[in-house]
């Protein structure tokens, strides 16, 4: 009887063991870092990235610089409104040059960066004074319509659902008025006159359009990418409000900016 029981047990194990699989925890990939000086919008961005499965670290400039020296993230989001510290400026430029994915948001390229020695030349951008005779720096507020100017690019199309069409005339003249895929960010900011200083190095991804006091403003500066030695830099003009980072179309574009493979 005992021998029969042992044989039945052995037979049961023989049948069941191939069905047993170890529970494996997927290895975490490189994290995503955010360096900022305004908490609210970056908390919203971090929540969106974490919901997509990323491990995210959110730091002000001092702690960020220490963290970046310790490990290499998959991407860095830069959202510094005021002065960028000299050491952080150098760290970010070096990170991109050595193969990193640097994603600059909103006022990461704005008038305060004129005071930085390296930042705007690195980005290939010039910002003229607010009283310049022909192309002054301006901040426009309203319901900003963002349009896709690269309908075959991964960043602007992969899993991106545009809710409608926007009537838009590209600022790269001569151009015609067109119906382009787009989305709207209500009550936010658009920057006017971010001048390119590097010829055609950039690939323009997005344009933006806003109506202020009955006048329409449109420029092809709402999103672009460029090579930076071994890495890449992407810029997105959106992101003034935390709510901008809750827009599913914009969030997917940012996720694509991380995962895009040149």
Question: What pLDDT sits at residue 176?
Answer: 97
Residue of higher predicted confidence among 9 and 257:
257
With a CB cutoff of 8 Å and minimum separation 6, the contacts of 200 are none
Q: 249 pLDDT band (50/70/90 cuts)?
A: very high
The CA–CA distances, whole Å, from 199 to 173, 196, 226 equal 15, 7, 11
DSSP 68-130: HHH---SEEEEE--SPPPHHHHHHHHHHHHTT-EEEEEGGGSSGGGGG-SSHHHHHTEE---T
Residue of higher predicted confidence among 260 and 19:
260
Parallel, antiparallel or unpaired: strands 32-36 and 178-192:
unpaired
Question: What pLDDT sits at residue 11?
Answer: 44
CATH code for the domain defined by 31-259: 3.40.50.880
Contact predicate 140/212, CB 8 Å: yes
Mean pLDDT, rounded, of the chain: 91
Q: 3 pLDDT band (50/70/90 cuts)?
A: very low
Cβ count near 113 (within 10 Å): 22
Cβ count near 62 (within 10 Å): 12
Question: What pLDDT sits at residue 29?
Answer: 62
Residue of higher predicted confidence among 2 and 74:
74
pTM across the whole model: 0.89
Q: Give per-residue pLDDT as tens, 99-122.
A: 999 999 999 999 999 999 999 999
Collect contacts of 136-140 with beta carbons under 8 A, ≥24 apart: 136/193, 137/111, 137/191, 137/192, 137/193, 138/191, 138/192, 138/193, 139/110, 139/189, 139/190, 139/191, 139/192, 140/189, 140/190, 140/191, 140/192, 140/210, 140/212, 140/217
Question: What pLDDT sits at residue 2?
Answer: 46
Check whether the bond before 46 is cis (ω within 30° of 0).
Answer: no
Checking if the pLDDT of 223 tops 50, the result is yes
Record the tokens describing residue 121, joined without a space. 């030349």
Question: What pLDDT sits at residue 14?
Answer: 41
Q: What are phi and psi of 176, to 5 degrees?
A: -110, 160
Record the tokens describing residue 131, joined without a space. 């009283």
Q: What are the structural domain ranges in the chain? A: 31-259
Question: What pLDDT sits at residue 131?
Answer: 87
Q: Give per-residue pLDDT as tens, 9-64.
A: 444 444 443 444 333 333 456 899 999 999 999 999 999 999 999 999 999 999 99
Residue of higher predicted confidence among 182 and 14:
182
């Amino acid at each position: 009887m005992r021998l029969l029981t042992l044989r039945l047990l052995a037979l049961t194990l023989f049948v069941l063991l191939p069905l047993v699989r170890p529970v494996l925890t997927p290895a975490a990939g490189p994290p995503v870092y955010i360096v900022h000086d305004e908490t609210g919008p970056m908390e919203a961005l971090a929540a969106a990235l974490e919901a997509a499965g990323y491990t995210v670290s959110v730091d002000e400039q001092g702690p960020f610089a220490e963290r970046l020296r310790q490990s290499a993230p998959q991407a860095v989001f830069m959202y510094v409104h005021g002065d960028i510290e000299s050491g952080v400026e150098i760290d970010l430029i070096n990170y991109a040059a050595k193969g990193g994915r640097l994603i600059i948001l909103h006022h990461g390229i704005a008038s305060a960066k004129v005071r930085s020695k390296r930042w705007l030349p690195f980005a290939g951008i010039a910002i003229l004074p607010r009283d310049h005779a022909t192309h002054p720096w301006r901040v426009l507020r309203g319901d900003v319509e963002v349009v896709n100017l690269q309908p075959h690019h991964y960043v602007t199309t992969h899993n991106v659902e545009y809710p409608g069409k926007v009537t838009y005339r590209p600022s790269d003249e001569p151009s015609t008025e067109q119906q382009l895929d787009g989305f709207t960010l209500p009550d936010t900011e658009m920057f006017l006159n971010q001048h390119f200083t590097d010829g055609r190095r950039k690939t323009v991804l997005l344009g933006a359009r806003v109506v202020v006091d009955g006048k329409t403003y449109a420029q092809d500066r709402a999103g672009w990418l460029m090579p930076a030695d071994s890495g890449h830099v992407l810029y997105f003009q959106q992101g003034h409000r935390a709510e901008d980072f809750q827009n599913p179309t914009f969030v997917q574009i940012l996720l694509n900016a991380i995962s895009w493979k040149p």
